[in-house]
């Protein structure tokens, strides 16, 4: 079926229609602004008509790819043909444009009439329906194809598809928030849910893993900003937490690290919020998902915040979160990011008492956090280019990655011991990631080290730390699976593997 029309009908989320007229107009204006920005590179015209928006563009396919990522639209329909608003023209148009679509299938014809009295909708449905009978078979209850006629004063639109929009409210109708973005699945999904409720989101990231970690998180921020934030321009604030974590490691018992670290992050986030104008913090916690996300711990963490802390995922389970991450396009990016909070071997406290945590915190030097906050780096996620996989081009000089194990290199397996026993590169030494950051300082500095881990990201972060400490250290690109293939056929070109 060839498309003869350049029109797409856009329907606003029903919630917008329930608003008072002034609010509704305001929301619609913001939605129009966002649509114009989203379609910046797609020549188009946009108009309103009876609570809907009409989009005309010669580049319909491109527009149809972008529209599902604009918040505030419930559904949209590419119009197949526009005909005269007369019975005969409509029936003829339906026959011409839908005979093939209904062939061998069941169908129903539905007509909606907007403010014209000329022909009755039922009559149109009957006669247009009859015109398709033969190639297709009528089924009014559960048709395979629904042919829709939208009858206006001066024309009739024929279409059948009703594609789903992102729903929610137009981005920008509801204040500004600051999302604590970690690189994990949850916080990116939490950001998306907040944006879907219309809030302008900026991101703050407390960097625990150096340039590699930052590049990975920047790639996630870029995905959210580029694909979903049309009409706003999110900022990414990076707070370097390395010195803060050193202080924590040296002065706080291991079972309290997670909670104290979160409290330090919230304090940093509050400082950034004061600067960005955010009215709330957003995090990705889901109740009971991990031991640090108990009610008792959330209370202890919240105690340091003065702004409301919003947790849109609090009632979600992991599967719902990862499904959503796939749908919004952050899954593949987050999957590669290692879990930095797990660098302590001790399990975190399940039940924390604020007083005990406060006592432990007293051992920290507040000036260290303050320095990190003062040195916050503000970035435009859309302006950073981190290369194809988000971590290239950051480790200048020698680079962070190798594609094969060099002759004579000391190979370090960063997996947990059980995994190391199952398989390791011949001759590799086992130093699990969580112990390695402390361990490498004492190693001989005249050797060349190659690290590998399951997915290749943990080892990259550690290799970068080692490089900064003056070691010749790199990570094997692509992690375990790729390394196994190389062991099986050492001469194969790894790039082809």
Q: Within 10 A of 430 (CB to CB), how many other CB atoms are there?
A: 15
Q: Which of 75, 99, 152, 289 binds ligand ATP (CB under 6 A)?
A: 289
Indicate which single residue of 285, 386, 394, 464 sits in contact with ligand ATP (rule: CB under 6 A): 285
Site string for Mg ion, 183-212 (x = CB under 5 A): -x----------------------------
- For the window 415-454, what string marks contact with ligand ATP as x by the rule CB under 6 A? ----------------------------------------
Q: Please check if 181 is assigned to a binding site.
A: yes
> What is the smallest separation between the CB atom of 186 and Mg ion, expressed in angstroms?
7
Beta strand 280-282 with 309-310: parallel, antiparallel or unpaired?
Answer: parallel
Q: How far is the CB of 311 from ligand ATP (least distance, A)?
A: 8
Binding flag, residue 182, ligand ATP (CB under 6 A): yes
Q: How many residues contact Mg ion, by CB under 5 A? A: 2
On whether 284 is known to bind a ligand per the annotation, the reply is: yes
Binding mask 98-137 for Mg ion (x = CB under 5 A): ----------------------------------------
- Contact at 8 Å (CB) between 74 and 110? no
Which residue, among 345, 357, 341, has the nearest Cα to 260 in the 3D structure? 357
453 is catalytic: yes
Phi, psi at 305, each rounded to 5°: -95, 140
Question: Between residues 10 and 372, which has the closer beta carbon with respect to ligand ATP?
Answer: 372
Q: Which does 206 bind (CB under 5 to 8 A by kind): ligand ATP, Mg ion, none?
A: ligand ATP
CB of 190 to ligand ATP, least distance (A): 6
Provide, rounded to whole angstroms, the least separation between the CB of residue 362 and ligand ATP: 23
Q: Does 467 count as an annotated binding residue? A: no
206 binds ligand ATP (CB under 6 A): yes
Sheet holding 163-164, edge to edge: 45-49, 52-56, 7-12, 73-78, 163-164
**182: contact with Mg ion by CB under 5 A:** yes
Q: Is residue 184 at the binding interface for ligand ATP, with CB under 6 A as the rule? A: yes
Size of the site for ligand ATP (CB under 6 A): 19
Applying the rule CB under 6 A, the residues between 320 and 359 that interact with ligand ATP are 341
Question: What are residue 367's phi and psi, to 5 degrees?
Answer: -65, -30
One residue of 132, 181, 450, 473 binding ligand ATP per CB under 6 A: 181
The answer to whether 171 is a known ligand-binding residue is no
476 binds, among ligand ATP, Mg ion, none (CB under 5 to 8 A by kind): none
Structure tokens at 124: 């149109």
206, 334, 414, 453: which is the annotated catalytic residue? 453
* 180 forms part of the interface with ligand ATP (CB under 6 A): yes
262 is in an annotated binding site: yes
In the complex, what is the shortest distance from the CB of residue 235 to ligand ATP, in angstroms, rounded to a whole number? 14
If one asks whether residue 265 binds ligand ATP (CB under 6 A), the answer comes out as yes
Q: How far is the CB of 247 from ligand ATP (least distance, A)?
A: 16
Q: What is the closest distance, in whole angstroms, from the C-beta atom of residue 314 to ligand ATP in the complex?
A: 11
Using the rule CB under 6 A, is 284 a contact of ligand ATP? yes
Q: Which of 179, 350, 373, 372 is nearest to 258 (CA)?
A: 350
Q: Which residues bind ligand ATP (CB under 6 A)?
A: 180-182, 184-187, 204-206, 208, 265, 283-285, 289-290, 292, 341
Annotated binding-site positions for ATP: 180-181, 262, 284, 293
Q: Return the active site residues.
A: 453
What is the binding site for Mg ion (CB under 5 A)? 182, 184
């Amino acid at each position: 079926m060839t498309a003869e029309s350049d029109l797409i009908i856009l329907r606003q989320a029903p919630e917008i229609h329930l608003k008072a007229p002034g609010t509704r107009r305001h929301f619609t204006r913001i939605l129009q602004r966002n649509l114009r920005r989203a379609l910046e590179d797609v020549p188009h015209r946009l108009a309103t008509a009876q609570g809907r928006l009409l989009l005309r563009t010669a580049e319909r396919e491109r527009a149809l790819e972008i529209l599902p990522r604009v918040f505030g639209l419930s559904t949209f329909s590419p119009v197949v043909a526009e005909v005269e608003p007369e019975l005969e023209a409509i029936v003829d148009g339906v026959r011409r444009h839908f005979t093939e679509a209904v062939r061998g299938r069941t169908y129903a014809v539905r007509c909606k009439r907007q403010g014209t009295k000329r022909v009755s909708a039922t009559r149109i449905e009957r006669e247009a329906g009859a015109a398709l009978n033969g190639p297709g078979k009528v089924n009014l209850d559960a048709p395979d194809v629904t042919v829709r006629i939208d009858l206006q004063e001066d024309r009739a639109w024929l279409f059948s598809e009703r594609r789903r929009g992102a729903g929610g409210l137009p981005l920008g109708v509801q204040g500004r928030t600051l999302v604590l973005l970690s690189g994990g699945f949850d916080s990116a999904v939490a950001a998306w849910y907040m944006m879907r409720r219309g809030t302008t989101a900026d991101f703050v990231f407390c960097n625990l893993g150096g340039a590699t970690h930052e590049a990975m998180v920047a790639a996630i921020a870029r995905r959210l900003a580029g694909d979903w934030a049309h009409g706003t321009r999110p900022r990414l604030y990076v707070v370097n937490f390395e010195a803060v974590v050193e202080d924590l490691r040296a002065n706080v018992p291991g079972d309290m690290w997670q909670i104290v670290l979160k409290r330090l992050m919230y304090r940093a986030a509050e400082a950034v919020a004061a600067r960005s104008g955010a009215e709330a913090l957003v995090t990705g916690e889901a109740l009971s998902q991990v031991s640090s996300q108990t009610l008792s711990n959330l209370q202890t963490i919240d105690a340091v915040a003065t702004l409301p802390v919003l947790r849109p995922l609090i009632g979600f389970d992991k599967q719902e979160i990862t499904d959503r991450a796939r749908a919004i396009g952050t899954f593949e990016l987050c999957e590669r990011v290692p879990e930095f909070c797990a660098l302590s071997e001790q399990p975190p406290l399940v039940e924390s008492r604020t007083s005990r945590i406060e006592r432990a915190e007293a051992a920290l030097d507040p000036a260290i956090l303050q320095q990190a906050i003062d040195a916050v780096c503000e970035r435009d996620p859309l302006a950073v280019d981190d290369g194809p996989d988000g971590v290239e081009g950051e480790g200048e000089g020698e680079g962070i990655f190798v594609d094969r194990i060099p002759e004579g290199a000391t190979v370090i397996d960063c997996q947990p011991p059980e995994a190391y026993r199952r398989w390791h590169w011949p001759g590799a030494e086992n130093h699990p990631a969580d112990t390695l950051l402390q361990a490498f300082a004492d190693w001989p500095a005249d050797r060349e080290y190659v690290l590998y881990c399951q997915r290749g990201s943990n080892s990259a972060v550690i290799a970068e730390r080692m490089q900064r400490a003056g070691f010749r250290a790199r990570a094997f690109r692509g992690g375990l699976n790729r390394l196994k293939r190389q062991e099986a056929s050492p001469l194969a070109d790894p790039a082809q593997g």
